[in-house]
């Protein structure tokens, strides 16, 4: 199971627009990978293709040795691949506890063992994302920062092996970013594989050991944060010449 | 069963209220007017509670709840008239017909959003209304189908009450179970529900079939009680009444739906003398409720209670 997630020559076209062009990379179990690129580079599209929300126009996604390119998101979730959304999408009329509990209920391995009263596991997740005091509030009443945390909590409900996080830092303050980073580090230390799309590079680079750069739907670089920050193509395409002069 | 224990109090209350209704028959010395009124009210409760599972919990706005009841009733009526089988078999056949009618509106709309489901449910009602009016030889047109009385009023009255109590209790257990959580998550956000592993078509279908199951049984009870079923069951007014009762009572709680269905069905009967203004009053009531308590009477009561509790808690902290 070394080759945990394989993206094989994935293309995605919207009409004539090629949103993804021949994307290929492999993620090993336990890795923490950053996925970056300018606006419109295709990061979220790639997320949607991997998690089954979109079907690839061609190419394959292989997860745990199984071709999952044609499977719907709920099947992938059952297999242990869970995503979060950039803009939080909570179950607003349900409590914070239930938002997380729902995920725990639909994992086949835990299904018969778990039921709604099995709050201990949910409490542990909520404690991890610092939402335990808000447990019984309706998710719709949470503030933005807490909603971002709830996305992380809800994603842990279904016992994932691979988490795909779509801009977990978006819209957060510096200190909030710090605490989300800590949470993510904790998850990675627990053996979870993470793929993180993010615009806040400084925070991301501190978190990941490997970065993949997309630009206009193509993969232009793949390496450690240090390598990436020296990469000429990346500097030109993404960070801009000014930045490269002062820092590289 | 943890859910069973947690719902014990509400189950007991439902049983007590149902028993209370049941004893009203012997107490009134089997007054047929009262029995008829209560039977009809109980049927409305079943319709609205079943509707609440679809609309209040799953977010599938159903404008044609009585479609299931109508199809089941017509199926039983046709069998009674043309192919008299043993009665349990006919009732079973009616039930199956009702369930099939639920597939008619749910299968085309499993993959689309709520608004399309609402349209399909409404359109299907009109289609069946047209069918009953067009094939007069089979469905009797305006007159519908009638049979002589086969069950006594008393038997049907008690059956309906038992069915109502069973519907409320079973629905309550369903919505508090895993299935209920899945349904609510679909109502809240389909994308997120998919992302945490919920098979949306499966649960939407499940909600539809469960809802149709109880509605069909109620439809069959109603048919035997009246000895008649006519095209008005596919009319707009009936199914709209279900929606109005549900919204006024409060969606997404089962109890709110039961309350709305029961109280408004009785009210509707007592408004008979002012028949012309009945719908007007009804609509006004709807507007007022939506403005004052957008979550219905039950939802309003719950939030009032919660506010009072919070206030008390705050006072407790202050002192």
* B5/chain A closest Cα distance in angstroms: 11
In chain B, how many domains are there? 1
Residue B186 covered by a domain: yes
CB contact under 8 A, A154 and B192: yes
Cα distances (Å, whole numbers) of residue A94 to A84, B7, B82, B252: 18, 18, 51, 11
Q: How far apart are CA B213 and CA B166, in angstroms?
A: 12
Residue B94 covered by a domain: yes
Q: What is the pTM of this model?
A: 0.89
Residue B185 covered by a domain: yes
- Structural domain containing residue B218: 2-278
Quote the tokens at residue B298: 């039950």
- Averaged pLDDT, A85-104: 91
CATH superfamily, region A1-80+161-248: P-loop containing nucleotide triphosphate hydrolases (3.40.50.300)
Chain B interface test: which of A83, A85, A102, A118 (most B C-beta within 10 Å): A102
Contacts 24+ apart (CB under 8 A), A183-192: A183/A128, A183/A129, A183/A130, A183/A149, A183/A152, A184/A32, A184/A152, A186/A128, A187/A156, A187/A163, A188/A30, A188/A32, A191/A29, A191/A30, A192/A30, A192/A160, A192/A161, A192/A162, A192/A163
Quote the tokens at residue B105: 């509106």
Q: How far apart are CA A159 and CA A106, in angstroms?
A: 10
Q: How far apart are CA A159 and CA A178, in angstroms?
A: 24
Residue B82 covered by a domain: yes
DSSP B151-162: S-HHHHHHHHHH
Q: How far apart are CA A166 and CA A158, in angstroms?
A: 17
What confidence tier does B134 reach under pLDDT thresholds 50, 70, 90? Answer: very high
Residue B297 covered by a domain: no
**Taking a C-beta distance cutoff of 8 angstroms, is the pair A6, A138 a contact?**
no
What confidence tier does A248 reach under pLDDT thresholds 50, 70, 90? Answer: very low
pLDDT per residue over A198-223, tens digit each?
Answer: 988 888 998 999 999 998 888 888 98
Residue A17, beta-bridge partner list: A14
Domain holding B199: CATH number? 1.10.3470
Residue of B nearest to A104 (CA): B196
CB contact under 8 A, B192 and A103: no
Residue B301 covered by a domain: no
CB contact under 8 A, A115 and B3: yes
**Average pLDDT of chain A?**
87
User: Which residues on A lie below 8 Å from B2 (Cβ)?
Assistant: 115-117
Residue of A nearest to B2 (CA): A117
Residue B1, beta-bridge partner list: none
Instruction: Give start-end residues of each CATH 3.40.50.300 domain in chain A.
Output: 1-80+161-248
pLDDT per residue over A10-64, tens digit each?
Answer: 999 998 888 999 999 999 999 999 999 888 888 999 999 999 999 999 999 999 9
**Count of Cβ atoms closer than 10 Å to residue B226 Cβ:** 18
CB contact under 8 A, B188 and A93: yes
User: Which residues on A lie below 8 Å from B3 (Cβ)?
Assistant: 115-116
ipTM score of the complex?
0.86
Residue of B nearest to A160 (CA): B196
User: Which residues on A lie below 8 Å from B177 (Cβ)?
Assistant: 116
Residue B145 covered by a domain: yes
The pLDDT value recorded for residue A246 is: 46
Residue B286 covered by a domain: no
Residue B196 gets which letter from DSSP? T
CB contact under 8 A, A102 and B182: yes
- Averaged pLDDT, B184-213: 93
Q: Which residue has the tokens 């609510």?
A: B184
CB contact under 8 A, B2 and A116: yes
**Taking a C-beta distance cutoff of 8 angstroms, is the pair B180, B57 a contact?**
yes
């Amino acid at each position: 199971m070394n080759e945990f997630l394989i993206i094989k020559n994935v293309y995605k076209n919207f009409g004539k627009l090629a949103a993804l062009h021949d994307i290929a990379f492999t993620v090993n179990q336990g890795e923490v990978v950053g996925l970056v690129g300018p606006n419109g580079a295709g990061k979220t599209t790639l997320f949607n293709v991997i998690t089954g929300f979109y079907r690839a126009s061609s190419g394959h996604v292989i997860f745990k040795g199984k071709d999952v390119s044609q499977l719907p998101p709920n099947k992938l979730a059952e297999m242990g691949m869970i995503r979060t959304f950039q803009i939080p999408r909570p179950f607003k009329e349900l409590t914070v506890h239930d938002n997380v509990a729902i995920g725990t209920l639909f994992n086949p391995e835990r299904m018969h063992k778990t039921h709604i009263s099995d709050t201990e596991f949910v409490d542990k997740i909520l404690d991890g994302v610092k939402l335990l005091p808000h447990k019984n509030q309706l998710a719709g009443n949470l503030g933005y920062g807490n909603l971002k945390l709830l996305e992380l909590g809800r994603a842990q409900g279904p016992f994932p092996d691979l988490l795909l996080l779509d801009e977990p830092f978006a819209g957060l303050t510096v200190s909030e970013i710090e605490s989300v980073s800590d949470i993510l580090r904790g998850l990675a230390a627990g053996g979870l594989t993470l793929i993180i799309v993010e615009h806040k590079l400084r925070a991301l680079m501190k978190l990941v050991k490997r970065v993949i750069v997309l630009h206009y739907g193509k993969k232009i670089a793949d390496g450690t944060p240090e390598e990436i920050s020296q990469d000429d193509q990346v500097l030109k395409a993404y960070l801009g010449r000014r930045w490269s002069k002062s820092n590289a | 069963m943890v859910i069973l224990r947690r719902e014990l109090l509400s189950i007991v209350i439902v049983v007590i209220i149902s028993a209370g209704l049941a004893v009203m028959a012997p107490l009134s010395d089997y007054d047929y007017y009262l029995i008829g009124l209560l039977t009809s009210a109980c049927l409305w409760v079943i319709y609205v509670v079943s509707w609440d599972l679809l609309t209040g919990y799953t977010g599938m706005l159903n404008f044609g709840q009585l479609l299931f009841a109508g199809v089941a009733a017509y199926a039983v009526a046709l069998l009674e008239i043309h192919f008299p089988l043993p009665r349990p078999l006919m009732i079973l056949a009616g039930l199956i017909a009702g369930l099939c009618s639920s597939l008619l509106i749910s299968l085309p709309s499993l993959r689309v959003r709520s608004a399309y489901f609402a349209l399909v449910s409404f359109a299907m009602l009109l289609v069946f209304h047209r069918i009953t009016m067009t094939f007069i030889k089979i469905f009797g047109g305006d007159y519908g189908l009638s049979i002589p009385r086969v069950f006594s009023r008393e038997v049907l009255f008690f059956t309906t009450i038992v069915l109502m109590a069973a519907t409320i209790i079973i629905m309550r257990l369903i919505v508090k179970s895993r299935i209920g959580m899945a349904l609510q998550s679909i109502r809240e956000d389909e994308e997120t529900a998919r992302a945490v592993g919920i098979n949306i078509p499966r649960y939407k279908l499940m909600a539809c079939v469960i809802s149709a199951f109880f509605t069909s049984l109620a439809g069959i009870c109603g048919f035997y009680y009246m000895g008649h079923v006519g095209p008005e069951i596919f009319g707009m007014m009936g199914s709209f009444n279900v929606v109005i009762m549900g919204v006024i009572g409060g969606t997404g709680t089962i109890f709110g739906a039961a309350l709305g269905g029961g109280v408004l069905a009785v009210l509707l009967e007592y408004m008979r003398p002012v028949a012309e203004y009945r719908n007007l009053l009804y609509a006004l009531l709807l507007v007022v409720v939506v403005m004052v308590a957008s979550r219905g009477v039950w939802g309003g009561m719950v939030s009032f209670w919660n506010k009072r509790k919070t206030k008390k808690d705050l006072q407790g902290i202050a002192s």
